[in-house]
Amino acid sequence: MRVSIILLGTFLYSSMVFSQDQEPNEVLLESMESGAMIYEDFCVNCHMADGKGVENLNPPLASSDFLMNNRGLSIKTIKFGQKGEIVVNGKKYNNTMTPLGLADDEIADVMNFISNAWGNLNNKIITVEEVSKIQQ
Ligand code: HEC
């Protein structure tokens, strides 16, 4: 149920934003659709359905300056996990995100979803090649 709500919102939003550019539009939407399902399976427990995280524990993804300004580091976080101090939207977190064992294409999909959900906007698609180049 949650996924369909997330998806519906995302689709409506993206079709407005990306409608001028036909081709990347479809590739991106397809990737975001898979990403929404991965989000529901692997991320929603900590970052929540609205992407707002959990106060003092799990940082937000919705309107996250970290996510939107540090594309490489965000991919790295999802690929290899992240622990220790991190500052998101001016607030400090000091917790652990364990690596989730996702394949590079799944990481690209979930990145395309989270960076275009909840009002986030990134029309520069994240590719498998980009994810595979990110090393620890
Ligand atoms: C067990 C809880 C947990 C799960 C599951 C989890 N995260 Fe995280 N995530 C965290 C925590 C905690 C941090 C911050 C770690 C720290 O304090 O150093 C974080 C940080 C992040 C960040 C960078 C900071 C930000 O808020 O922009 C991104 C991006 C992110 N997670 C995405 C994901 C995605 C995508 C998934 C699913 C594929 C996921 N996380 C699954 C707990 C989790």
- The tokens of 19 are what? 């409608």
- Which residue segments constitute the domains of the chain, with CATH numbers given? 2-133 (1.10.760.10)
Q: What is the pLDDT of residue 69?
A: 97
- Whole-number pLDDT of residue 116: 97
Nearest to 111 by CA among 34, 56, 46: 34
Q: What's the pLDDT at 4?
A: 56
What is the pTM assigned to this prediction?
Answer: 0.88
Ligand 1 mutation pick, 97, 100, 107, max ligand atoms within 8 A of CB: 97
37-44's contacts with Cβ under 8 Å and 24+ in sequence apart are 37/3, 38/102, 38/106, 38/109, 38/110, 38/113, 39/3, 39/6, 39/110, 39/113, 39/114, 39/117, 40/2, 40/3, 40/6, 42/100, 42/102, 42/110, 43/110, 43/114, 44/2
pLDDT by residue for the chain (136 residues), tens only, comes to 455 555 555 555 555 555 555 566 899 999 999 999 999 999 999 999 999 999 999 999 999 999 999 999 999 999 999 999 999 999 999 999 999 999 999 999 999 999 999 999 998 999 999 999 999 9
User: For residue 23, what pLDDT is reported?
Assistant: 62
Q: Is any atom of ligand 1 closer than 6 Å to the C-beta of 80?
A: no
pLDDT of residue 25: 86
Name which residue sits closest to atom 39 of ligand 1, judged by CA.
Answer: 43
Nearest CA to ligand 1 atom 41: 43
Residue 1: the pLDDT is 47
**CA-to-CA distance for 94 and 53, rounded, in angstroms?**
14
